[in-house]
Amino acid sequence: MVELRHLRYFLAVAEEKHFGRAADRLHMAQPPLSSQIKQLETELGTLLLERTTRKVELTDAGALLMKRARQILADVEAAKTDVGEIGRGAAGVLRVGFSGTATYRLMPEIVRVARERFPLVRLQISGEMLTPQMEEGLLENRLDTAILRPPVQSTEISLEEIQKSRLVVALNRQHPLADSSDPLNISELANENIVGYPRGSSVSSVVSELTRQAGFRPHIVQEATETSTLIALVGAGLGIAFVPGSQSLPLNSSIVIRRLADTVTVGLSTAWRAGNDSPLLASFLTLAREAAADLEHRDNQKT
């Protein structure tokens, strides 16, 4: 059987064209090296080297094997590197879902850092997804991880909070409530038309509870899964919107953001299928945690 060591021994002799120099290069004695080359020739059933007292020349079969041996050994080293990178979580493909505003700022930051730190990792991104969609994707193995807004329903999903945002109200600049910079009381919005995320989404659930506590039911006139669509609808004057406050909101000159008097926050968490011990996933979770913390630090420096 031809083994990798046979190819390494043969390649050393073929490149040096001298058994003595090849033996020195391999840190071994010359007789065992000669013996290994003879074993290789016997295994292949052909002469690979023409030996003289002064030098060694390759036969045609030897020249072909020299070319193939280089490729085989290079492929083996590449395979060792690739397997090692995957084992350390530094290579592979990761399918990631992103929620609402995380698509606009956190996602680009994560992708940027991932390209720098793990150039062999390919992220398959699905942006502006709702929490129920991402939870389903994780459970059905269509996503490996997600950046979502809790809560989730399944106990099979693990969560780690990496960011927290204050819930704010987006209004059209022409809206009567847009002129003041004072925080809004939720009761002031009882008669407003609202464009919101679909029922069952995390923000929608928070808004429903807020309005219930204030003694009214929200008047939802339009639903949209994408934050950018909600903002566009507000800009068109269709209604107001409750959205997670963030510097990454896709705002334009027709939009005004006002805070609520009661501080209400919505969290942003990494999520993954419980029991997934992939090194690639672990690397991503660390990267996402660090990216979120870095963005928060930069935001704090601006204020």
Structure token pair of residue 61: 């079969």
Domain 166-265: assigned CATH number: 3.40.190.10
Instruction: Specify burial of residue 52 (Cβ count, 10 A radius: 0-12, 13-18, 19+).
Output: exposed
Contacts of 303 (CB under 8 A, 6+ apart): none
Q: Identify whether the C-beta of residue 123 lies closer than 8 Å to the C-beta of residue 114.
A: yes
Residues of the chain with CATH 3.40.190.10: 91-163+267-302, 166-265
Residues of the chain with CATH 1.10.10.10: 4-87
Q: For each of the chain's 303 residues, which pLDDT tens digit applies?
A: 878 888 888 888 888 888 888 888 888 888 888 888 888 888 888 888 888 767 788 888 888 888 888 888 777 776 665 566 555 544 578 899 998 878 888 888 998 988 888 887 888 898 888 899 999 999 998 999 999 999 899 999 999 999 988 899 999 999 999 988 899 999 999 999 999 998 888 889 899 999 999 999 999 999 998 888 999 999 999 999 999 886 667 678 889 999 999 888 889 999 999 998 888 899 899 999 999 998 887 877 765
* Angle of helix 4-16 versus helix 19-26 axis, rounded to 10: 130
What number of other Cβ atoms are within 10 A of residue 298's Cβ? 11
Distance in angstroms (rounded) separating the CA atoms of residues 85 and 104:
29
pLDDT for 84 equals 63
User: What pTM was computed for the model?
Assistant: 0.64
Instruction: Say which CATH topology domain 4-87 has.
Output: Arc Repressor Mutant, subunit A (1.10.10)
Instruction: Specify burial of residue 173 (Cβ count, 10 A radius: 0-12, 13-18, 19+).
Output: middle
**Region of 275 on the Ramachandran plot (φ > 0 left; ψ -120 to 50 alpha; else beta):** left
pLDDT for 200 equals 81
Burial of 117-135, coded b for 16+ CB within 10 Å and e otherwise, reads ebeebebeebebbbbbbbb
pLDDT for 90 equals 47
CA distances to 72, 270, 297 from 293, rounded to whole Å, are 45, 13, 6
pLDDT for 260 equals 92
Distance in angstroms (rounded) separating the CA atoms of residues 58 and 17:
8
Distance in angstroms (rounded) separating the CA atoms of residues 240 and 220:
10
Q: Identify whether the C-beta of residue 2 lies closer than 8 Å to the C-beta of residue 43.
A: yes
Q: Which CATH architecture has domain 91-163+267-302?
A: 3-Layer(aba) Sandwich (3.40)
Residue 257: DSSP 8-state = E
Residue 168 β-bridge partners: 243, 259
pLDDT for 263 equals 87
- Residue from 106, 97, 98 nearest 293 by CA: 106
pLDDT for 79 equals 64
Distance in angstroms (rounded) separating the CA atoms of residues 177 and 175:
5
